[in-house]
Amino acid sequence: MPTNSSPVWLITGCSTGIGREIAIAALKKGHRVVVTARRPETVQPLADEFPGKAIAVRLDVTKQDQIDAAVAAADAAFGGIDVLCNNAAYGYMAAIEEGEDEEVRSLFETNFFGPVAMIKAVLPQMRARRSGYIINISSQAGLMSNPGTAYYSASKHALEGLTEGLVREVKPLGIRVTAVEPGPFRTEWSGASLKQVGNPIADYADNVGARRAMIAGMHGKLPGDPEKAGEAIVGLYDVVEPPMQLLLGKVLYDTYVAKLKTVSQSIEDWKEVTLATDFPPGT
């Protein structure tokens, strides 16, 4: 175990938004935090505000050497990592046909392969201790997909699938795992952090283009409060049996419940075809 009773968090992507609020909420609860960002000067004020409880570390989750260095820094400063929170991610607006191959691959490197690399970096010590908690910050987009954000959704659906399998793999080892799905929150996801396709195709103006304009128009006005999200996520640490999925925000609650009803109805509507594809019983 780490050197004393206050848990140690390593949080990726703490420069703004929910990641920063998770770090603040954990520090205010007396937890110790490795606060990371690609530009550590953006998170150094947190380390200065909480001396002995926080360290600021450079971390780009697409670079293995920086991942290794961040884990080593956590070990040196605090004796280990109790909670890994994979938060670093960004959005990308493009119709599927418009998607630029290099941008799509870069998106997956950060949003999916980055968390994979982080998980693999911390699991050995968690396995050895038979304790630990991995929190993957997914998205509403990990549960449903819309025009213009299908690539982002695909990266988050991949993270959801990884999380579900990981829950079952590591629970016998005493390690907890949760995916957190924020709905529309007032962060830079819809602003400076959102990448846009360079050459939009006019034929997609009525759906992808309209959604692009809607997202731009709602920036700074979205209903989700990042501070409350941070507090809710940090509160998971005290739950003995945390949920595999935690939805955040009324918009997501309402839309996902509606989707599940639609999916359930479709399954029943096509039940006869579904069941007719097996070999006859006894053959």
CATH of the domain at 241: 3.40.50.720
Residue 141 inside a domain? The answer is yes
Query: Is residue 6 a contact partner of residue 27, using CB atoms and an 8 Å limit?
Result: no
| Residue 172, domain extent | 8-250
pLDDT score recorded for residue 18:
97
Number of domains making up the chain: 1
Residue 267 inside a domain? The answer is no
Instruction: Tell if the pTM clears 0.85, that is, is over it.
Output: yes
Residue 262 inside a domain? The answer is no
Residue 266 inside a domain? The answer is no
pLDDT score recorded for residue 191:
82
Residue ranges of the chain with pLDDT lower than 70?
Answer: 1-4
Residue 194 inside a domain? The answer is yes
pLDDT score recorded for residue 110:
98
Angle at 135 between CA 50 and CA 257, to 5 degrees: 125
Residue 272 inside a domain? The answer is no
Residue 243 inside a domain? The answer is yes
pLDDT score recorded for residue 1:
38
Residue 204 inside a domain? The answer is yes
**Burial, 178: exposed, middle or buried (Cβ in 10 Å; 0-12, 13-18, 19+)?**
buried
Q: Which residues are part of the catalytic machinery?
A: 138, 152, 156
pLDDT score recorded for residue 41:
97
pLDDT score recorded for residue 198:
85
CA separation for the pair 234, 264 (Å, rounded): 33
